[in-house]
Amino acid sequence: MVRKIQKEHATKMGKELINPWDSEIDPDGKEPLVPFQDGKELLNTTKSIFKDIDPFFGDCLQTMDEMKHLDLDSKAGKAPGGYNYPLYEIGVPFIFMNAAGAQRDVATMIHEGGHAVHSFLSRDLDLTSFKNLPSEVAELASMSMELLSMEKWDAFYDNDDELNRAKKEQLVGILKVLPWIATIDAFQHWIYENPMHTREERKTYWATLQENYGNPFVDWSGYEESRTYAWHRQLHLFEVPFYYIEYGISQLGAIGVWKNALQDKEKAIADYKAALTLGYTKDIPTIYKTANLKFDFSSKTVQSLAQFVQKELKSVS
């Protein structure tokens, strides 16, 4: 599916092979989407969307706003990045980000908002350890929120063309991240299973992974070095070994939550809230089960979830 998307991208640009820096641009040459002007507008629109999904979600952001627990706008000298920081004692988290008016910032705000809702729902648990969530659980909350909110994104966009572009970007991103997660996971397993490997062997292995999972419609001539060391950009390899597959697990879980919501929204939201309220008082499969998800990553399940995303993608293309 990703190959097909990558091929279409190149074809739209009138090329068989594209430049490495052209893989994420709009192939029709359209200007970037501008969903909001400043952090205030981003917050107010997100608040109304959250309220629409579930009044409690809107209340969470409202409380954070009143307590000045939101630092959203990008400014000179501000550290890059975005995160929700749980404050276990007070039970009201803090969101830090660098919003600059892009669709990516909308996704980040909603993502961090999902983490924030998780903090609120688990704040009354007895032990801090219960609120300290493993990423399979934490990212399920945030990634699901991104997808659950998507049907309300018209609050950010004036016309269907822009709205569909934003949704398409989101769904294509979901499909594209899975082979990248597979690449990083395979790479670090190989590294640790072959501790005596040479630099040359490592380069060769990375190249093999690029053949299997990379974009075959990119011409890397003149930039081979960049491709060889592309793994340098994944900080998890250096700082948190073997902590990356969790994103794949959560992403697949989030697709499941979204799929449930399209069938029975009320039940899906109730199940999602019930799962988040558990914090980390149960094992991960039980938490997934509470969210009405199968904790199953067989090719059959992955295929069916990916086909679902592909079908939704068609409806906005």
Which lies closer to Zn ion via its Cβ, residue 103 or residue 142?
A: 142
Smallest gap from residue 297 Cβ to Zn ion (A): 19
Residue number closest to Zn ion, CB atom: 142
Applying the rule CB under 5 A, the residues between 120 and 149 that interact with Zn ion are 142
Site string for Zn ion, 29-48 (x = CB under 5 A): --------------------
Smallest gap from residue 26 Cβ to Zn ion (A): 26
Which lies closer to Zn ion via its Cβ, residue 5 or residue 252?
A: 252
Q: Does 119 bind Zn ion (CB under 5 A)?
A: no
Smallest gap from residue 138 Cβ to Zn ion (A): 6
SS3 of the chain: the string is CHHHHHHHHHHHCCCCCECHHHCCCCCCCCCCCCCCCCHHHHHHHHHHHHHHHCHHHHHHHHHHHHCCCEEEECCCCCCCCCEEECCCCCCCCEEEEEECCCHHHHHHHHHHHHHHHHHHHCCCCCCHHHHCCCHHHHHHHHHHHHHHHHHHHHHCCCCHHHHHHHHHHHHHHHHHHHHHHHHHHHHHHHHHHCCCCCHHHHHHHHHHHHHHHCCCCECCCCCHHHHHCHHHHCCHHHHCCCCCHHHHHHHHHHHHHHHHHHHCHHHHHHHHHHHHHCCCCCCHHHHHHHCCCCCCCCHHHHHHHHHHHHHHHHHHC
Site string for Zn ion, 185-224 (x = CB under 5 A): ----------------------------------------
Smallest gap from residue 250 Cβ to Zn ion (A): 8
Which lies closer to Zn ion via its Cβ, residue 206 or residue 288?
A: 288
Smallest gap from residue 105 Cβ to Zn ion (A): 14
Which lies closer to Zn ion via its Cβ, residue 139 or residue 162?
A: 139
How many residues at the interface with Zn ion, by CB under 5 A?
A: 1
Which lies closer to Zn ion via its Cβ, residue 122 or residue 142?
A: 142
Smallest gap from residue 247 Cβ to Zn ion (A): 9
Which lies closer to Zn ion via its Cβ, residue 142 or residue 260?
A: 142
- Please report, as ranges, the residues that interact with Zn ion according to CB under 5 A: 142
